[in-house]
Structure 1
Amino acid sequence: MKYLLLVSHGTFAPGLHSVMDMLMGPRENILSYSMEDGVGAAEYRENLSKVLEPLTADDEVVVLGDIIGGSPLTNALDLLAKKGLLSHTVAFSGANLPMAIGALMAIDDGLSGEALVSSILNEGKNGVNQIVLALEDDDEEDL
């Protein structure tokens, strides 16, 4: 099975997971866990290990993390390495909702290798845009 693993600081990863469930329906292949305030690295690793228990050596994993080099992402990759899954894993930082939806759609479409990576990166980048507000003076009074 190909899994999507969401990891973050705070409640971002479970929140992202919740929104994906709402928009795309609950899926067995989406896993999420976050490092909340006051939780140390050891406790985070222990709890994340339990989340990763369903993964087998035959599985593939797409990891979306909030910040490159952050404890949630680095610990997730270390635990995946200990399970022998690092060679079956692609990881990204800077996760956003369009990236996560794009990753799940790419998984559903059976993409792999460079096509998978390119698709996920493009969705994440294209999901970040400036919204140009062009208001007339009269419009500002309506706000």
Structure 2
Amino acid sequence: MIGVLLVSHSKLAHGMKTAVEFVAGEQENLFSIGLEEAGIASFRTELKSLVERLSKDIRQLIIVCDIPAGSPGTNAYDVFAQTDLEIEMLSGMNLAMLLEILLMREGKEFQQLIADGIKAGKESVDHMDFSDEDADEEF
């Protein structure tokens, strides 16, 4: 079974979890932890508590963080690297990425799920041009 952990600065991870579950319903083995003003020590305590609570059925974990090399991601990776789980970490958390990963995790191999999640995340980033060039034309 594949677990997904969202980590971020402040409440972004919690908000993304809420958004995913708004769109796709409650998700089993989806977790969120935010680095709050209480600091790194408190954040790491939450991570270690999650390690203890994880289902023994989870063999692989995808950690999705907000920005590359940020404290939430690097600390989460550090804590979970000390477990027996197979871990992958992605940055650039967005809703398209998370939906792809979460809704397809039952039917895909772990590494393919990672690749498809990254692809979905990248493809969802675009410049939306709503300018109406013909706005001044008369009918």
Q: Do they fold alike, i.e. is TM over 0.5?
A: yes
Give 1:81's aligned residue: 81
Matched, 1:32 2:29: no
Amino acid across the alignment from 2:130: L
| Displacement of 1:57 | 8.3
Name the CA shift for 1:15/1:109 in 2 (closer, same or farther; >3 Å): same
Paired residue total: 134
Give 2:107's aligned residue: 109
Scaled by the length of structure 2, what TM-score is found?
Answer: 0.88
Q: Distance in 1 between matches of 2:104 and 2:87?
A: 14
Gaps of 5+ in 2: none
Scaled by the length of structure 1, what TM-score is found?
Answer: 0.85
3-state SS of 1:108 partner? coil
More helix by share: 1
- Runs of 4+ in structure 1 off by over 4 angstroms are none
Gaps of 5+ in 1: 139-143
Q: Distance in 2 between matches of 1:120 and 1:131?
A: 21
Give 2:4's aligned residue: 4
Name the CA shift for 1:83/1:19 in 2 (closer, same or farther; >3 Å): same
Q: Distance in 1 between matches of 2:58 and 2:115?
A: 23
Q: Distance in 2 between matches of 1:58 and 1:13?
A: 20
Give 1:43's aligned residue: 42
3-state SS of 2:52 partner? coil
Q: CA RMSD of the aligned region, Å?
A: 1.7
Amino acid across the alignment from 2:39: G
3-state SS of 2:27 partner? coil
